[in-house]
Amino acid sequence: SQTIHQWPATLVQPVGSPLSLECTVEGTSNPNLYWYRQAAGRGLQLLFYSVGIGQISSEVPQNLSASRPQDRQFILSSKKLLLSDSGFYLCAWSIITENSPLHFGNGTRLTVT
Amino acid sequence: SQKIEQNSEALNIQEGKTATLTCNYTNYSPAYLQWYRQDPGRGPVFLLLIRENEKEKRKERLKVTFDTTLKQSLFHITASQPADSATYLCALCQQAGTALIFGKGTTLSVSS
């Protein structure tokens, strides 16, 4: 069966520090991969999605970036965090069929202080 | 731009009643719509998908309708239980080949 791992579960970082969140998927090949952010009162916001290694689509201009160095690995990064980057970061995967559902990880709660 | 509205931020009902949640969208005609459940501190979990040519979809106590004329989907939970308490999200694609976008969700509380 397929599983998705996200870490860390919680993170407290000072403003201006770098960020690296990692997500890996097991049990499937060539998945679509996604990063969403959920801020208080704002719902799920799509940040990045990837349909293959090295292929990243960015939805929102910001100081975050994403990379997909391996087929089942998706990394979210920032060089300098802002207070507004605080939130609940969720990684998800789906098969490549257009209407396939998303399978989410358990998320990372990031607090920028 | 595409907009998804889940009209109620919170819905409180008594155990045994039917909960009805609403999802409205504008400026697009999606081929399908999805519903998810999210518990506090966890990622959303997929519940149901309904296509534009399906008026209704059922799964156990869950029922989803899709009215493309009204641009609205209704999500029903019959014989609700306290364990159904969670936030429910609707989602659709802006256009073919793009990722899902989500509504803000409706938080359902079922009291015993």
Rounded Cα gap, residues A11 and A87, in angstroms:
10
How much is the average pLDDT of A66-82?
Answer: 96
As for how many domains chain B has, the answer is 1
Q: Are B41 and A103 an interchain contact pair (Cβ–Cβ within 8 Å)?
A: no
Assess A57–B contact: CB distance below 8 Å, yes or no. yes
What does the radius of gyration of chain A's CA atoms come to, in whole angstroms?
13
Query: Residue B89: what pLDDT?
Result: 96
Domain boundaries, position A89: 3-112
pLDDT tens digits in sequence order for chain B, 112 residues long = 668 899 778 999 999 999 999 999 987 778 889 999 999 999 999 999 999 889 899 999 999 999 999 999 999 999 999 999 999 999 998 766 678 889 999 999 999 9
Structural contact between residues A85 and A63, judged by C-beta atoms closer than 8 angstroms: yes
**Chain A residues close to B51, C-beta within 8 Å:** 99
Q: Which domain CATH number covers B23?
A: 2.60.40.10
Residue of chain B whose alpha carbon sits nearest to that of A34: B99
Q: What is the CATH number of the domain that holds A27?
A: 2.60.40.10
Determine the structural domain holding residue B89 and report its residue range. Answer: 3-108
Interface contact flag, A44 B41, Cβ < 8 Å? no
**What is the pLDDT, as a whole number, of residue B82?**
98
Q: Do B49 and A101 touch (CB under 8 A)?
A: yes
* Number of domains chain A is built from: 1
Whether A56 has its CB under 8 Å from any CB of chain B: the answer is no
Q: What is the pLDDT of residues A18-33, one digit of tens each?
A: 999 999 999 999 999 9
Closest CA to B26 of B77, B85, B92, B76: B92
| Beta carbons of A78 and A15 less than 8 angstroms apart | no
| H, E, C per residue of B61-105 | CEEEEEECCCCEEEEEECCCCHHHCEEEEEEEECCCCCCEEECCC
